[in-house]
C-alpha cells in the first residue's frame, strides 16, 4: 500500500484516537487495555460512518467531539453554546445521523468496558494478586475466596460453611420494568461485537484469524449502526416476557450447572468432598413479566395465561433439546436390578419405531437400559411441549395429560433412578457428568422455567369486596373500619359457604381481578410464586387475597406478600405485620414462613434517597424482630431498581450492607429492565452474577456486618428528618416545582421512547405523586442533574456539623466503619461523578421561563454545596479518587455524552418553541445510492410525528445515547 498523501484532512481524521488517548489518564494498571479497545472500536466505526455517509459527516462528528472534549478540559459554558450552534445548523437527516453516531459510540464504549473487565478478571485468576477496582474485595464475591475467607480468616468449620450454603436460597425475580431502552435486535449484535473484540486480543491468534475477526467486527458494528434504534411501537407484556425469557436459553440455562460445578470445586478446596445436592435450592428464578398488573391495564388474565403456557413450552423445549445428548452419553449396559426391572417393563410396552425423532428413533435394544429409561423421559417431554403449544395456540390439546409430566417429581424420578444405578455400579464419575447437570437444571427450572408472581394494587381487591358486601346487602366494605373488615373476612375464611355466585354484578375492573384468580386455579400450581399486594397497609389487605383464592378454588393457594413502599407505609409496616401474625387463623395458614416486600423506588421518590435508605434499614430490623417474636421465618423481598435513585448499586455491597440477621440464608430481589442485560447478557456476566449473589448471601449470614452504634443511629435519625423536610419542601411544597421540572427535563417526552408496556403515570392528571418512579429518575439522569439522589443530603450534613463540629468526626467514623453508611455515601459520590450542573444550566437557559431561572440557579448552588460536604465526609479531595478505573471510564465517554446533552437541549427548544430560529447549513450526508434524496430515508422512518421533520427521532436517539452513556435509564 502506498503511503497516504500528507494532507491536513487526513491528519484531522486520525485525531479522534489521539484525542481519546489524551483524555484518558495513564494506564491504571499493567493489564489496562481499555483505551486500546475503545480506540479500535471507534476507529472501525468512523471508517464505516465515512464509507456510508461521506467524509464531511465524519469530519463533523470529529469536530463536535473535539469541541466537547475541549469543554471537558476547560468547563467553559461558552464551549457548550458553540457546540449548540454547530449542532443546530445541521439539517434533519444529518442531525439524526449525528445523534445515532454518538449514541452508537457510547454503546461501543460500554462493550469495550465489558471486555476490559472480563480481561482483568482472567488476568487476576492467573496472577491471584492484588486487585483494586469495582470488582475487588469490597464489591466482588468470588465463591472460592469467600469460602476460604470464612474458613481461614473467620475460623468457621468447613462443615458449617457447607451446611449454610446448601440450605440457602437466592431467588432472582425478573421484572419488565420499562428501563431497558435498547432493542433486542441490537443487544444480540452487541454480544457478537464483544465476542470479536475478545478473540482479537487472544494470545495465540494467527494473522489470518485476525483478519477474519476484524472483518466480522466491522460487519457487526455496521449491522448495529444500520438497525433502527427506535422502537416504533410499544412492546406488549408478551413481548417483554419473551425478551426476558430469551436470557434463559442464551446464558442462564447452561450457566446454572456450570456455576454449581464451580461451587463444588470451591467446596473441594476447603476440604469438603461432597457435591452440593442437586436439589439444593441455591439459585431460583421468578418473573413478574405478564403477572405484574399494578398500574398496567395491558396485563390481562389472558396475558397471564399466555405467559405461563409459553414458559412451560420453552422449558420442555430446552430439556427436549438436551435429552438426546444424554442418551448418547449413557450407553452403559451395567445397571442396578431396580433399573433393569424398569427398563424391561418399558421395553415390553414400546414396540413401535418413532420416526419423528432424529436420533434413537428405532426401538432401543434392552442391552442399553439407561437409553430405554431416557427414551421414555424424551417421549413425555415431547408430549409436554406439544400440549403447552396446543393449549397456547388453540386453547385445547389432544395430547393426553397422562402422557406428559405434570409435576417435577415425576420428571426427576427416572433421572434419580439412573443416578443411583450408575453410582451402585461404580460409575459415579459418569453420574456426576451431564446427568448431574441435567438434574440440577430440572430442580432449578422445574417444568415452568420460572415461577410467575402476580402483583395487584390493594385498592382493586377492596373494590371486589365492596361489590360483594353490597350485593349481599350487608353494607359497604370500603367504608368499614379495619376491625370490622378483619372480623368479617375471618368469619368467612373459617366458614365453608361460597361467598358469591355468577349473579354478582361486575364492572370490567372487578371481572379482571376475579378472572385472574380463575386463571391461577386453572393452571398447574408450580407455574406461580407469590401474590404481591402493592400499596398494602393493613392485615385485611392480606386476608382479602386469602379469601379470594379460596373462593376461586385455587387448590394450592399462593403465598401472599404485602409490599410496603411509601415512607409512611414503611414506618407502619412492623405494626401491621405484628397485627397480622397475632391472628391465629393466619398463623396456622402460613406454617411459620412469611415474605414481605419492601420498595426502594417509591420510597426514594417520596422522601429522598438518604431518608428512604435509612428507613428501609430500620424497617428490616423491626420486621425481623416482630417475626422472631411470633416464631416466623421472614424472607425479605427487595424491590430494587437499577439506578441509585431507585435503590440500585453493586450487588455485593448492597447485600453486605443490609442489617445483620435480615437475610438469614434467604434473599429475594428484583432484577429490573436494563439490569437483566448487565447481569445475564453474556456467559461470563451470568456466571459472575450467580457467584456474587450466592457468595454475598453466604457471607452476610455467616459473618454479619456490624450493628450501628446508638450514637450513629441518633445522628442519622436527626439527619433523615432534616433531609426529608428539605426534599419535600422543594419537590412537593414549592408551588412552581412541577412546572420547573417539566420545563427543565425531557420528562414530558419520555413516553415517546416506547420502552415498556406500562403507562408512565398511575393517573393521567396529577403531579409528582402520580408520576412513576422510573420517568422521575430518568428525566433527571438525562440532564445530568440527578436531583432525586442528592437533594436533602447537603442540608442534613450542614445541620449536624454546624450544630456540633464533633459530628463531622463521627460521620467520618461511620463512613470508615459501617458498611451501610459507606455504601450510601460511595453511591452518592459516583452519581456526582456522572453529574454536571453546567449542562443542567444549559437546559435551564434554553427551556425554562425567565422567572424560574433563579430557582434552577439555587438548586445548582445546593448541588455544589452538597458535593463539597460529601467529599469532606468521605475524606476525598476529588470525586472517585479511590476508584481510578471508574474515573477513567467516565472520562473516556464524557465528550460523547456532552455532545448528546447539548443536541438534546437544543432539540427540546425547537420542539417546544416552533419560532426558535436556526440557520441550517447545506446537507452533508451522502448516501451510497446517490440517486435518492440523501438521508431523507431516515426522516421518513417517522412519518406521523407532530413536530418538524427529524426532531422527534433526534430527541429519542439522544435519550437512548445518554442512557447508554450514563449506564442507567431509570
Question: What CA–CA distance (Å, rounded) separates 229 from 184?
Answer: 10
What distance in Å separates the CA atoms of residue 689 and residue 694, rounded to the nearest whole number?
9
Please give the angle made by the CA atoms of 508, 513 and 518, to the nearest 5 degrees: 115
Report d(CA 836, CA 897) in Å as an integer: 11
Q: Can you tell me whether residue 534 is helix, strand or coil?
A: strand
- In terms of Cα–Cα distance, which of 966, 965, 963, 958 is closest to 96? 958
Cβ distance 133 to 883 under 8 Å?
yes
Terminal-to-terminal C-alpha distance of the chain: 49
Q: In this structure, what C-alpha cell is assigned to residue 596?
A: 414481605
What is the C-alpha separation between 666 and 546, in angstroms, rounded?
24
The DSSP secondary-structure symbol of 771 reads B
Closest C-alpha among 285, 290, 184, 287 to residue 238: 290
Q: Which three cell numbers stand for residue 418?
A: 439412573
Distance CA 150, CA 702 (A): 8
If you ran DSSP here, which 8-state letter would residue 552 be given? Answer: T
Backbone Cα Rg of the chain: 30
Q: How many CB atoms lie within 10 A of CB 20?
A: 21
Cell of 489: 373476612
The active-site residue out of 53, 380, 605, 960 is 605
Cell of 376: 421414555
Place of cell 424398569: 342
Q: Any idea how long the chain is?
A: 970
Give me the catalytic one of 177, 638, 786, 960.
Answer: 177
> Whose CA is closest to 381, among 355, 399, 363, 359?
399
DSSP labels for 824-893? HHHHHHHHHHH--HHHHHHHHHHHS-GGGHHHHHHHHHHHHHHHHHHHHHHT-SSTTTT-HHHHHHHHHH
Burial 901-912 (b: 16+ CB within 10 A, else e): bbbbbbbbbbbe
Residues 6+ apart with CB under 8 A from 563: 455, 532, 533, 534, 535, 536, 597, 598, 599, 637, 639
Contact 585, 539 (CB under 8 A): no
Distance CA 453, CA 288 (A): 5
Sign, CA dihedral 195-200-203-207, equals positive
Helix pair angle (609-629, 793-803), 10° resolution: 80
Q: Beta-strand (E) ranges in 651-754?
A: 666-672
Nearest to 784 by CA among 836, 854, 833: 836
* CA separation for the pair 270, 784 (Å, rounded): 47
C-alpha cell at 455: 402483583
800, 715 contact by CB (below 8 A)? yes
Q: How far is CA 209 from CA 204, 206, 730, 751, in A?
A: 10, 5, 60, 45
DSSP 703: S
| Other beta carbons less than 10 A from residue 592's beta carbon | 11
Is residue 917 part of the annotated active site? The answer reads: no
Residue 605 a catalytic site member: yes
Distance CA 500, CA 305 (A): 24
Which DSSP symbol is given to 292? B
DSSP 630: T
Q: Which residues are catalytic?
A: 177, 605
Amino acid at each position: 500500500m502506498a503511503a497516504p498523501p500528507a494532507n491536513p484532512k487526513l491528519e484531522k481524521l486520525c485525531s479522534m484516537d489521539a484525542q481519546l488517548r489524551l483524555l484518558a489518564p495513564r494506564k491504571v494498571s499493567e493489564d489496562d487495555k481499555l483505551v486500546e479497545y475503545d480506540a479500535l472500536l471507534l476507529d472501525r466505526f468512523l471508517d464505516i460512518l465515512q464509507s456510508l455517509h461521506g467524509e464531511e459527516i465524519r469530519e463533523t462528528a470529529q469536530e463536535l467531539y473535539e469541541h466537547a472534549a475541549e469543554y471537558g478540559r476547560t468547563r467553559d459554558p461558552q464551549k457548550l453554546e458553540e457546540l449548540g450552534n454547530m449542532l443546530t445548523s445541521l439539517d434533519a437527516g444529518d442531525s439524526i445521523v449525528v445523534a445515532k453516531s454518538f449514541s452508537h459510540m457510547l454503546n461501543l464504549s460500554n462493550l469495550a468496558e465489558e471486555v476490559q473487565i472480563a480481561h482483568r478478571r482472567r488476568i487476576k485468576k492467573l496472577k491471584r494478586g492484588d486487585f483494586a477496582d469495582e470488582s475487588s474485595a469490597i464489591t466482588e464475591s468470588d465463591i472460592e475466596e469467600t469460602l476460604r475467607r470464612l474458613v481461614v480468616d473467620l475460623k468457621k468449620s468447613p462443615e458449617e460453611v457447607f451446611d449454610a450454603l446448601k440450605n440457602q436460597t437466592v431467588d432472582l425475580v425478573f421484572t419488565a420494568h420499562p428501563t431497558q431502552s435498547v432493542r433486542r435486535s441490537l443487544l444480540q449484535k452487541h454480544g457478537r461485537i464483544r465476542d470479536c473484540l475478545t478473540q482479537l486480543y487472544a494470545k495465540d491468534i494467527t494473522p489470518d484469524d485476525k483478519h477474519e475477526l476484524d472483518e466480522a467486527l466491522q460487519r457487526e458494528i455496521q449491522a448495529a449502526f444500520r438497525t433502527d434504534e427506535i422502537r416504533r411501537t410499544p412492546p406488549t407484556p408478551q413481548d417483554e416476557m419473551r425478551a426476558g425469557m430469551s436470557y434463559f436459553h442464551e446464558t442462564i440455562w447452561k450457566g446454572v450447572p456450570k456455576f454449581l460445578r464451580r461451587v463444588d470445586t470451591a467446596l473441594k478446596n476447603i476440604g469438603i468432598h461432597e457435591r452440593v445436592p442437586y436439589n439444593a435450592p441455591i439459585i431460583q428464578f421468578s418473573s413478574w413479566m405478564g403477572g405484574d398488573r399494578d398500574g398496567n391495564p395491558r396485563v390481562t388474565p389472558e396475558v397471564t395465561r399466555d405467559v405461563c403456557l409459553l414458559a412451560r413450552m420453552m422449558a420442555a423445549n430446552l430439556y427436549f433439546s438436551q435429552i438426546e445428548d444424554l442418551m448418547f452419553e449413557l450407553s452403559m449396559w451395567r445397571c442396578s436390578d431396580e433399573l433393569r426391572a424398569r427398563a424391561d417393563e418399558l421395553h415390553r410396552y414400546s414396540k413401535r419405531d418413532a420416526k419423528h425423532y432424529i436420533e434413537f428413533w428405532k426401538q432401543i435394544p434392552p442391552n442399553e437400559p439407561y437409553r430405554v429409561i431416557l427414551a421414555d423421559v424424551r417421549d413425555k417431554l415431547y408430549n409436554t411441549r406439544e400440549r403447552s403449544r396446543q393449549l397456547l395456540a388453540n386453547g385445547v390439546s389432544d395430547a393426553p395429560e397422562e402422557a406428559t409430566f405434570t409435576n417435577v417429581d415425576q420428571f426427576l424420578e427416572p433421572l434419580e433412578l439412573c443416578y443411583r444405578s450408575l453410582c451402585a455400579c461404580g460409575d459415579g464419575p459418569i453420574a456426576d457428568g451431564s446427568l448431574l447437570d441435567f438434574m440440577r437444571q430440572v430442580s432449578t427450572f422445574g417444568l415452568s422455567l420460572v415461577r410467575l408472581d402476580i402483583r395487584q394494587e390493594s385498592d382493586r381487591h377492596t373494590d371486589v369486596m365492596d361489590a360483594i358486601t353490597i350485593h349481599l346487602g350487608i353494607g359497604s366494605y370500603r367504608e368499614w373500619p379495619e376491625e370490622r373488615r378483619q372480623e368479617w373476612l375471618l368469619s368467612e375464611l373459617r366458614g365453608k359457604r361460597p361467598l358469591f355466585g355468577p349473579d354478582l354484578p361486575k364492572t370490567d375492573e372487578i371481572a379482571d381481578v376475579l378472572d385472574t384468580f380463575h386463571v391461577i386455579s386453572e393452571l398447574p400450581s408450580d407455574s406461580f410464586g407469590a401474590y404481591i399486594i402493592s400499596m398494602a397497609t393493613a392485615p385485611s389487605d392480606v386476608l382479602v387475597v386469602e379469601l379470594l383464592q379460596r373462593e376461586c378454588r385455587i387448590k394450592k393457594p399462593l403465598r401472599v406478600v404485602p409490599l410496603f413502599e411509601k415512607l409512611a407505609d414503611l414506618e407502619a409496616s412492623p405494626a401491621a405485620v405484628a397485627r397480622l401474625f397475632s391472628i391465629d387463623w393466619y398463623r396456622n395458614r402460613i406454617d411459620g414462613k412469611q415474605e414481605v416486600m419492601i420498595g426502594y423506588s417509591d420510597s426514594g421518590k417520596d422522601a429522598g434517597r438518604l431518608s428512604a435508605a435509612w428507613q428501609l434499614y430500620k424497617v428490616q430490623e423491626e420486621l425481623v424482630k416482630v417475626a422472631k417474636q411470633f416464631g416466623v421465618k421472614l424472607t425479605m423481598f427487595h424491590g430494587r431498581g437499577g439506578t441509585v435513585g431507585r435503590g440500585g448499586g453493586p450487588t455485593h455491597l448492597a447485600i453486605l450492607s443490609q442489617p445483620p440477621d435480615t437475610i438469614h440464608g434467604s434473599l429475594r430481589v428484583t432484577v429490573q429492565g436494563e439490569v437483566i442485560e448487565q447481569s445475564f447478557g453474556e456467559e461470563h456476566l451470568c456466571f459472575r452474577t450467580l457467584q456474587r449473589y450466592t457468595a454475598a448471601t453466604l457471607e452476610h449470614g455467616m459473618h454479619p456486618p456490624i450493628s450501628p452504634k446508638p450514637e450513629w443511629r441518633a445522628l442519622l435519625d436527626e439527619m433523615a428528618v432534616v433531609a426529608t423536610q428539605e426534599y419535600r419542601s422543594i419537590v412537593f411544597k414549592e408551588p412552581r416545582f412541577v412546572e420547573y421540572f417539566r420545563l427543565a427535563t425531557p420528562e414530558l417526552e419520555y413516553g415517546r421512547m416506547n420502552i415498556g408496556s406500562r403507562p408512565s403515570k398511575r393517573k393521567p392528571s396529577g403531579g409528582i405523586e402520580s408520576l412513576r418512579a422510573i420517568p422521575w429518575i430518568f428525566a433527571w439522569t438525562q440532564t445530568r442533574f440527578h436531583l432525586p439522589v442528592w437533594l436533602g443530603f447537603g442540608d442534613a450534613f450542614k445541620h449536624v456539623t454546624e450544630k456540633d463540629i464533633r459530628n463531622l468526626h463521627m460521620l467520618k467514623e461511620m463512613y470508615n466503619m459501617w458498611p451501610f453508611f459507606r455504601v450510601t455515601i460511595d453511591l452518592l459520590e459516583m452519581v456526582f461523578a456522572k453529574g454536571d450542573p453546567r449542562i443542567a444550566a444549559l437546559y435551564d437557559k434554553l427551556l425554562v421561563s425567565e422567572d424560574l431561572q433563579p430557582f434552577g440557579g439555587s438548586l445548582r448552588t445546593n448541588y455544589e454545596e452538597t458535593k463539597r460536604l460529601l467529599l469532606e465526609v468521605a475524606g476525598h479531595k476529588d470525586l472517585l479518587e479511590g476508584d481510578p478505573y471508574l474515573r477513567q471510564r467516565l472520562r473516556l465517554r464524557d465528550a460523547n455524552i456532552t455532545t448528546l446533552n447539548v443536541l438534546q437541549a437544543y432539540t427540546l427548544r425547537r420542539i417546544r418553541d416552533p419560532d426558535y430560529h436556526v440557520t441550517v447549513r447545506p446537507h452533508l450526508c451522502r448516501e451510497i445510492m446517490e440517486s435518492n434524496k440523501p438521508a431523507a430515508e431516515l426522516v421518513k422512518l417517522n412519518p406521523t410525528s407532530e413536530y418538524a421533520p427529524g426532531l422527534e427521532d433526534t430527541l429519542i436517539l439522544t435519550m437512548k445515547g445518554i442512557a447508554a452513556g450514563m449506564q442507567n435509564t431509570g
